[in-house]
Structure 1
């Protein structure tokens, strides 16, 4: 088809359409302008919404920034798409507006999604515990990866809506992504592990943790893009890759809701039965006098030196005072002394059999009788 002929035909159709529907076109134009102004007002309100939150990383601010990224072209095409059917527009005009609206909507959605993803990451990183320089610098890499991913998806969606066969493009992107992933799998593994720590929060800076079944322990000092630094009890600094650390079972002792202590003691077998029955009450009184809760205090079994007892008590606080066990032990000793109860000492008694002359054999006794 001759492009010149097609263009002239479009001009003729447009002239006839305007002449026959000038009133509807004027009303549709006014309605479109009103819709455009309303969308601008909504965008302006969303920008003001950014100032309502507690900071740049609040959800109000995140949503406000996302809608504040709405483009003028997108708003114009939204208004045109809503009013184009009112004036009985030509097919070519309706198709053109629909196509442009689809392209604009897809890329606008990618912009909104990017702002929400960035805002969600910043929302997680706003806490002072996670506000490390390494993770903040990693945000630039994350932004790049998210932007490339979202706009690559948007491009594929647009081409698919335009009737282009995107199978080869998707295959190429997939192969390229696999190649990059294999080449930098170590970097990506540590990066995603850092993001897992950031979002899942198994520990924070300042938490006391143990890992690898208790083989390592210490206080978290910093969480970086590739590794986490832990200060051990003796004072050494341990640097562990994020991925390796998350492969271990991590015990976070800072977040426990309560704390328990348990110890045992033994009293002698010479204790009277009424003393055995009296001891649990004394243990409860001693523990509760120090402000703790007795979980169990009673006979645990029999041992070689006496009757074994165990005492288990807890505090509703996360940490015990350093002298908690000392004070509870002193309270138990005081009550035992008041009731003349003594502890058993490890002793060993050796029983020696009396040495006697053995009886002679029966045959010897018979011969002696004959004699």
Structure 2
């Protein structure tokens, strides 16, 4: 959309343009009696459009209220529609009908230019509301309640607003006929300089947004990363705070955290446990043959999911026997308790079957 206007270069030029506009307007008013019906119809259409757009804005308000702010995506769109300005509504109504009333060229050009300004800034406001609404929709979800990332929305809102309105300002200047090439180049160089100076902070901010939308973990999740482990307590604008197994607080930059392979223990469907027994090699082969069935029976009686049980190797004086089973709960405490019960039950069954565990000779001598 381009509406170039020749701006007056001096006071004399302004006077000439004003005098020309008055003459054209006077001639148009003089001719109203010849096309009064067309003007009346155009005015009626403009009024209908004006109130119709107001109805659309009220519809957006209802959508926003039904969705409780940003709880749903249609509420986000409704909030954007509700931000439609009166000036845009007025200029839209005028722009749609002014071409049918044979208005003076300067009046037509002025109305078109004002509509362009209104449309550019209105589109900027709509886009801003949709972007911010989408981010707030994510941060307002249950897993982000109480996190410091929600308080960082103010900074994100400021950055989005500056960027969008800077683009809108450049578009308006371009429609005025101003050469914006130098301005765009300057903004680009300035943006690059700022980006290089704050690339660490910007990278962490983008990583924070990636955490919001991709959701590799949430507040309260227990995660393993690199060689560390912790429970997520707070997702911030620059860093994530975790509580380590020893009670210590760990602060990790968002970008660095996402560079690791993250194992989310909270999202487990189950926990697999493994036990290794050293069976004395003096145990008869007939008893060893039924050891897998014995382990399966013990695990099934404990209401756990049996995976496998077999001999895994031979060491001096012993045979290593491995048992794997699944705890159906993701809870580490329940899995450890299940492991404890299986060990006790296995020892009792092995003792009842006369299957001895391997005990090094040094320990036998001490006993």
What TM-score bracket applies, with the shorter chain setting the length? 0.7 to 0.9
Query: Are the counterparts in 1 of residues 327 and 338 from structure 2 also a CA contact under 8 Å?
Result: no
Gaps of 5+ in 1: 349-371
Query: Are the counterparts in 1 of residues 147 and 235 from structure 2 also a CA contact under 8 Å?
Result: no
Of the three residues 213, 223, 233, the one matched with 1:221 is 233
Residue 21 of structure 1 is matched in structure 2 by 35
Residue 368 of structure 1 is matched in structure 2 by none
Residue 352 of structure 1 is matched in structure 2 by none
Compared with structure 1, are the counterparts of its residues 105 and 125 closer, same or farther at alpha carbon in structure 2 (3 Å cutoff)?
A: same
Cα distance in 2 for residues equivalent to 1:151 and 1:115: 13
Residue 149 of structure 1 is matched in structure 2 by 163
Residue 140 of structure 2 is matched in structure 1 by 126
TM-score w.r.t. length of structure 2? 0.84
Residue 106 of structure 1 is matched in structure 2 by 120
User: 1:10: Cα distance to partner?
Assistant: 2.1
Runs (4+) of structure 1 exceeding 6 A deviation are none
Query: Are the counterparts in 1 of residues 223 and 266 from structure 2 also a CA contact under 8 Å?
Result: yes
User: 1:168: Cα distance to partner?
Assistant: 1.0
Please list, as runs of the form range in 1=range in 2, the aligned pairs for 1:1-371 lying within 5 A after superposition. Answer: 2-4=16-18, 6-15=20-29, 18-87=32-101, 89=103, 91-132=105-146, 134-212=148-226, 214=227, 216-320=228-332, 321=334, 322-346=336-360
User: 1:158: Cα distance to partner?
Assistant: 2.5
Query: Are the counterparts in 2 of residues 293 and 315 from structure 1 also a CA contact under 8 Å?
Result: yes
Residue-by-residue CA offset, 1:243-282 (whole Å, 9 max, x unaligned): 3333333322112222111121132334444434322222
Compared with structure 1, are the counterparts of its residues 337 and 177 closer, same or farther at alpha carbon in structure 2 (3 Å cutoff)?
A: same
SS of 1:243's partner is helix
Query: Are the counterparts in 1 of residues 148 and 234 from structure 2 also a CA contact under 8 Å?
Result: no
Query: Are the counterparts in 1 of residues 232 and 241 from structure 2 also a CA contact under 8 Å?
Result: yes
Query: Are the counterparts in 2 of residues 305 and 347 from structure 1 also a CA contact under 8 Å?
Result: no
Deviates more, 1:289-298 or 1:182-191: 182-191
User: 1:174: Cα distance to partner?
Assistant: 0.8
SS of 2:113's partner is helix
SS of 1:341's partner is coil
Residue 360 of structure 1 is matched in structure 2 by none
Query: Are the counterparts in 2 of residues 62 and 119 from structure 1 also a CA contact under 8 Å?
Result: yes
Query: Are the counterparts in 1 of residues 140 and 150 from structure 2 also a CA contact under 8 Å?
Result: no
Compared with structure 1, are the counterparts of its residues 85 and 276 closer, same or farther at alpha carbon in structure 2 (3 Å cutoff)?
A: farther
Residue-by-residue CA offset, 1:346-368 (whole Å, 9 max, x unaligned): 459xxxxxxxxxxxxxxxxxxxx
Residue-by-residue CA offset, 1:123-165 (whole Å, 9 max, x unaligned): 1221354234633432222121111100011122223344433
SS of 2:196's partner is helix
SS of 1:202's partner is coil
Gaps of 5+ in 2: 1-12, 363-367
SS of 1:254's partner is helix
Residue 363 of structure 1 is matched in structure 2 by none
TM-score w.r.t. length of structure 1? 0.83
Cα distance in 2 for residues equivalent to 1:315 and 1:19: 90
User: 1:69: Cα distance to partner?
Assistant: 0.8
Bigger share in helix: 2
RMSD: 2.6
Query: Are the counterparts in 1 of residues 21 and 106 from structure 2 also a CA contact under 8 Å?
Result: no
